[in-house]
Amino acid sequence: MGAIGVVYGDIGTSPLYALRECFSGPHGITPSPENVLGVLSLIFWSLIVTVSVKYLAFVLRADNRGEGGILALMALVSQRHRGSAPPNAARAKLLLMGIFGAALLYGDGIITPAISVLSAVEGLSVATPIFEPYLLPIALVILLGLFLVQRHGTGGIGNVFGPFMCVWFIALAVLGVKELVHNPGVLVSLSPVHGASFFMRNGTHGFLVLGAVFLVVTGGEALYTDMGHFGRGPIRWAWFGLVLPSLMLNYLGQGVLLLRDPSAARNPFYLLAPDWAIYPMVILGTGAAAIASQAVISGAFSNTRQAMQLGYCPRMEVVHTSAEEKGQIYLPGLNLILLVGVVALVLGFRSSSALAGAYGIAVATAMLMTTCMAYIVARERWEVSRAVALPVAGLFLGVELAFFSANAVKIPEGGWFPLALAVVLFTLMTTWKRGREILGAKLREASMDLKDLMSSFDGEHAPLRVPGTAVFMTGNPEGSPPALLHNLKHNKVLHEQVVLLTILSEDVPHVLPEERVEVQPLERGFVRVIARYGFMENPSIPDILKRGREKGLQFQLMSTSFFLGRETLIPSKKPGMAMWREALFSWMSRNARSATAFFRIPPNRVVELGTQVEL
């Protein structure tokens, strides 16, 4: 039930606009009987090959300890296996591919709410033209409400997602069957012969229609992204037991309607319903659109947290909205950015048909990247022979390249938006990652070997030891933290117990509790604590200290001080990054959430020591 409500919200709203775009969109084709059967054939086989075979049969097997999604797949590709890893150059390309794929999904997170809600409320204009001037305001009010409720979490709303979407899919099936009984002969369209003859008859125009056909599989990435929440079994059962039959019955019903009345191409979904059912279907469609939007918004939150933990995104505020479900999170800053983007799209494109040009190109590109990385996983981790893996991956790549090419012509019509957004986000993510690497190298150069530091305490250079515990956070689990050196240089004192705390992010979604914290007693009252977190987890200093105490770390919180380094970054012409990227990294660093708030350190126990670093 949960999988039906969350995983299939996006793909479940495709009947609102997919077939309409095939026949009345910018590249729409005449709804002749042969074309209708051909398009229905393409829709059916697109769902079978892309969703049923690629995602459900193959890609769902590529889980990173139960978690899915393009960033989880990227982490899986980067892990060593059988004592080896892909060559550095190939590995770097794969990682960049994964980052760009993740950046593309943010475009999906902005476009999906806009096109889904607009498509739903446009049904009002089918009932009566009186609503025509009010469609945009109604859509904007619904979208504003959707983003405002994010702060309350999806737990309460999620309880009604499954039942509501079940009603939606049943309504899709009923509407389709109502029309299908009048012309069951349309079932011949399930033969691939009709799809092939469609291309032969229509040539280039038929190929361009494939860009609209692709709208029926948008949302396929959600199957993989949400695997960690529900598991493979429920996702597969929901698809084959309810979602696929309901979608195809509705598409076939719309096809029968077009065979009977070609003028219905202006909105075949709502014209499929009897007059008395249009308003209930608008309400039902709007609810389904809100649920589809909720799924991609939640996905954007999860992707951002993964990116933070993997080092591709600055620290942002993460609010846990459920004490029981650790996956339910809310990012206020990102929520505001998504809301502004969605409102701008609605006001800029003004209709779901115009937005269809922007939709598809991002998802098609992300699917291509998923296929490429899944091939590497099959070869490197599953040890599948090239003779088997290459033809299978080639089939999927062939289909997706066709979808991508057909959608590429939409770039001037709006497809540029998700690509431009992805380029901007890709630049930000790679700049942050590279900048952190350069900054880490600079700080390591300025640090001192811990053994050398301890040996300098002998004789007359021994610092004054004061009561209490000092915790120094450091990204280097080997050397001495710069904040420790600055404290000794300026304050000339050393606490009787010094804890060197390092938090490491692992390429796995979750770290086992018993492996979370490692305590290493050193000489002269020094203790090294190493905490490990997966990319689906949020580090917490109170949690680390609690687990450290269980492993022998002795301290009193009220006599413990936390020393943090705060770097002032100065762009320079030294090798590393271009000046503009260094300036961008410096700006991102200044606007990142403070370590005190992000790691939940008691603010009245924090001492920050600043230093200037030339990049």
Helix H, strand E, coil C: the string for 165-233 is HHHHHHHHHHHHHHHHCCCHHHHHHHCHHHHHHHHHHHHHHHHHHHHHHHHHCCCHHHHHHCHHHHCHH
pLDDT at 73 over 70: yes
Q: Residue 328's pLDDT is what? A: 67
Q: In whole angstroms, what is the distance from residue 66 CA to residue 18 CA?
A: 32
Q: Residue 88's pLDDT is what? A: 61
Residue showing tokens 């009932």? 127
Q: Which of 501, 478, 453, 480 is nearest to 601 (CA)?
A: 501
Per the prediction, the chain carries an average pLDDT of 85
pLDDT at 46 over 90: yes
Considering the chain, what percentage of its residues have pLDDT values greater than 70? Answer: 94
What backbone torsions phi and psi does residue 136 show, to the nearest 5 degrees? -65, -50
Helices marked H in 520-569 — which ranges? 541-550
Could you tell me the pLDDT band of residue 186, with boundaries at 50, 70 and 90?
very high
Q: In whole angstroms, what is the distance from residue 443 CA to residue 187 CA?
A: 67
Q: Which residues lie below 8 Å from residue 563, measured CB to CB, with a gap of 6+?
A: 470, 471, 472, 473, 481, 483, 484, 487, 606, 607, 608, 609
Report the DSSP pairing between strands 464-473 and 493-505. Answer: parallel
What backbone torsions phi and psi does residue 27 show, to the nearest 5 degrees? -115, 25
Q: Which residues lie below 8 Å from residue 214, measured CB to CB, with a gap of 6+?
A: 46, 360, 363, 364, 403, 406, 407
**Token pair in block for residue 96:** 């960049």
The answer to whether residues 579 and 534 touch, using CB atoms and an 8 Å cutoff, is: no
pLDDT at 82 over 50: no
Least confident of 72-76, 243-247, 264-268, 590-594: 72-76
- All structural domains of the chain, each given as residue ranges with its CATH number in brackets, are 2-414 (1.20.1740.10), 436-614 (no CATH)
Q: Residue 426's pLDDT is what? A: 93
Q: In whole angstroms, what is the distance from residue 254 CA to residue 16 CA?
A: 11
β-bridge partners, 526 = 498
pLDDT for 101-144, tens place per residue?
Answer: 888 888 888 888 888 888 888 888 877 788 888 889 998 999 99
Q: Which of 118, 99, 109, 249 is nearest to 189 (CA)?
A: 249
The answer to whether residues 572 and 545 touch, using CB atoms and an 8 Å cutoff, is: no
Q: How many CB atoms lie within 10 A of CB 316?
A: 18
Could you tell me the pLDDT band of residue 173, with boundaries at 50, 70 and 90?
very high
pLDDT at 213 over 90: yes
319 vs 334: which has the higher pLDDT: 334
Could you tell me the pLDDT band of residue 257, with boundaries at 50, 70 and 90?
very high
Using a 10 angstrom Cβ sphere, with 0-12 exposed, 13-18 middle and 19 or more buried, the burial of residue 490 is exposed
Q: Which residues lie below 8 Å from residue 585, measured CB to CB, with a gap of 6+?
A: 431, 432, 434, 435, 569, 577, 615
Q: Which residues lie below 8 Å from residue 421, measured CB to CB, with a gap of 6+?
A: 103, 106, 107, 110, 341
Per-residue DSSP letters for 451-482?
HHHHHTTSGGGPPEEEEEEEEEE-S-SSS--H
End-to-end CA distance of the chain: 52
What backbone torsions phi and psi does residue 360 show, to the nearest 5 degrees? 110, -45
Q: Residue 184's pLDDT is what? A: 93
Using a 10 angstrom Cβ sphere, with 0-12 exposed, 13-18 middle and 19 or more buried, the burial of residue 275 is exposed
pLDDT at 1 over 80: no
Least confident of 78-92, 288-302, 338-352: 78-92
Q: Which of 301, 307, 336, 346 is nearest to 320 (CA)?
A: 301
**Token pair in block for residue 501:** 């705390």
What backbone torsions phi and psi does residue 357 show, to the nearest 5 degrees? -65, -30
pTM for this entry: 0.82
Q: In whole angstroms, what is the distance from residue 11 CA to residue 220 CA?
A: 7
**Backbone dihedral region of 279: left (phi > 0), alpha (psi from -120 to 50 degrees) or beta?**
alpha
The answer to whether residues 12 and 218 touch, using CB atoms and an 8 Å cutoff, is: no
**Token pair in block for residue 35:** 């074309």
Top-confidence range, 98-102, 497-501, 503-507, 608-612? 497-501
Q: Which of 194, 212, 183 is nearest to 41 (CA)?
A: 194
Q: How many CB atoms lie within 10 A of CB 327?
A: 17
201 vs 112: which has the higher pLDDT: 201
Q: Which residues lie below 8 Å from residue 273, measured CB to CB, with a gap of 6+?
A: 175, 281
**Token pair in block for residue 595:** 């370590």
**Token pair in block for residue 545:** 């200290």
Q: Is 382 helix (H, G, I), strand (E, B) or coil?
A: coil
Least confident of 281-290, 352-361, 581-590: 352-361
**Token pair in block for residue 503:** 């938090």
pLDDT at 67 over 80: no
Q: Residue 424's pLDDT is what? A: 94
Least confident of 68-82, 90-104, 501-515, 560-574: 68-82
Amino acid residing at 539? P
Amino acid residing at 78? S
**Token pair in block for residue 334:** 């990102």
Q: What b-and-e string marks burial along 428-442, b requiring 16 or more CB atoms within 10 Å of the CB?
A: bbbbbbebbebbeeb
Q: Is 104 helix (H, G, I), strand (E, B) or coil?
A: helix
pLDDT at 83 over 60: no
